[in-house]
Amino acid sequence: MSDKVFKTILISIGVVFATCLIVVVMVFSNSSGKDAGISSEKSKTPSVASKYKPRADYADQLSPSSPIWNQGMLVGDPAAKNHFIEYTDMFCPYCAKFNLAFHGSQADFEQNFITPKKMNLEIRLVSMLTDHENSDKGGAHAYCAARQNKFHEYYSAMIQKVNEQYFSKGIGAYHGAPDVPILPDSFFQDEYAKAGLDKQKMTECMQKGEGLSDLGIATATTTQKKLPSGLPHFVFNTFTTSGFDGDYSRIKVMFKAGGVS
């Protein structure tokens, strides 16, 4: 074999080896990036539901043997024939659409459905979003407000605030939108006065973890139920549905589907 041929073979082997080395480095780099992503996901704070056990006595239908999850979250007479349930998360944008539509027509709802005792409405607040830190904080505050029988005043104020400052600007408003930043405690505390809450009692409730405990049990129970789709989720007699993107007329369509008009 001539020196020229031998050198050519060596060069070819070197090129092949270098190419293989580059491929290995690229694969390893991509693999490391994916692992880092997985690691980042795993490093997130566990959901509040993981800390609490579900309650076996929570049921989807209102009856003497299946109590309301939280009396303070009920609108209307507990003895009303029909029971409408909304599963919701304070930072779920489509839940906000439902609640804004509902509160915007609350006078009609009370006159035509609540006063004649055709139905009642129960809100079951949970923390089920992937980025749940804000949901945990907001939900805990809302359950503390319920302990003062001011849940609806506080929840309504917070929904309007989150919508005005974030959802209406496209932040956290849909899949792929920029996330709502992790909010400070003051963001939730600033609505105490508007809801007519006793600040000292709210502070004590939050410090003792009472609101977070209520939220955790509700979330764990809801997770165990394995709802068929995302939030908001509605249960009304034999009618169930998930999601919302409409106005009050759409809500009345759901009432009719559940047997009330």
Same-domain check for residues 5 and 124? no
In terms of Cα–Cα distance, which of 137, 124, 140, 145 is closest to 196?
Answer: 145
pLDDT for residue 259: 93
Same-domain check for residues 218 and 100? yes
pLDDT digits 0-9 by tens, 124-140: 999 998 889 999 999 99
74 phi/psi in degrees, rounded to 5: -95, 135
Bridge partners, 236 (sequence order): 84, 239
- Asked if the model's pLDDT at residue 210 lies above 60, the reply is yes
Give the chain's domain count. Answer: 2
Residue for token pair 């690229």: 26
Same-domain check for residues 31 and 105? no
Same-domain check for residues 217 and 235? yes
The residues, any chain, with a CB within 8 Å of residue 84's CB and separated by 6 or more, are 119, 120, 121, 122, 234, 235, 236, 254, 255, 258
Residue for token pair 């795993």: 42
| 227 band by pLDDT with thresholds 50, 70 and 90 | confident
CATH code of the domain in which 65 resides: 3.40.30.10
Same-domain check for residues 22 and 130? no
The residues, any chain, with a CB within 8 Å of residue 156's CB and separated by 6 or more, are 99, 103
Domain encompassing residue 190: 48-257
Same-domain check for residues 194 and 68? yes
What b/e readout covers 137-169, taking b as 16+ CB neighbours within 10 angstroms? bbbbbbbbbbbbebbbbbbbbbbbbbbeebbee
Q: What 3-state DSSP class applies to 150?
A: coil
- Asked if the model's pLDDT at residue 145 lies above 80, the reply is yes
pLDDT for residue 69: 78
Same-domain check for residues 221 and 204? yes
Same-domain check for residues 111 and 156? yes
Q: Give how far the C-alpha of residue 64 lies from the chain's centroid of Cα atoms, to the nearest Å.
A: 29
Strands 119-125 and 74-75 turn out to be antiparallel
Same-domain check for residues 10 and 122? no
| 49 band by pLDDT with thresholds 50, 70 and 90 | confident
pLDDT digits 0-9 by tens, 235-257: 998 899 999 999 999 999 999 99
Cα separation, 111 vs 133, whole angstroms: 37
What is the greatest pairwise CA distance in the chain? 105
Same-domain check for residues 101 and 226? yes
Cα of first residue to Cα of last residue in the chain, in angstroms, is 97
pLDDT digits 0-9 by tens, 183-203: 999 999 999 999 999 999 999
Cα separation, 23 vs 31, whole angstroms: 12
Same-domain check for residues 28 and 92? no
Judge whether 170 and 212 are in contact, CB under 8 Å: no
Same-domain check for residues 58 and 157? yes
Amino acid at 115: T
Strands 239-242 and 233-236 turn out to be antiparallel
pLDDT for residue 198: 98
Could you give the residue ranges of the DSSP H alpha helices within the chain? 3-42, 93-104, 106-109, 133-146, 151-165, 185-189, 192-195, 199-208, 210-225, 248-257
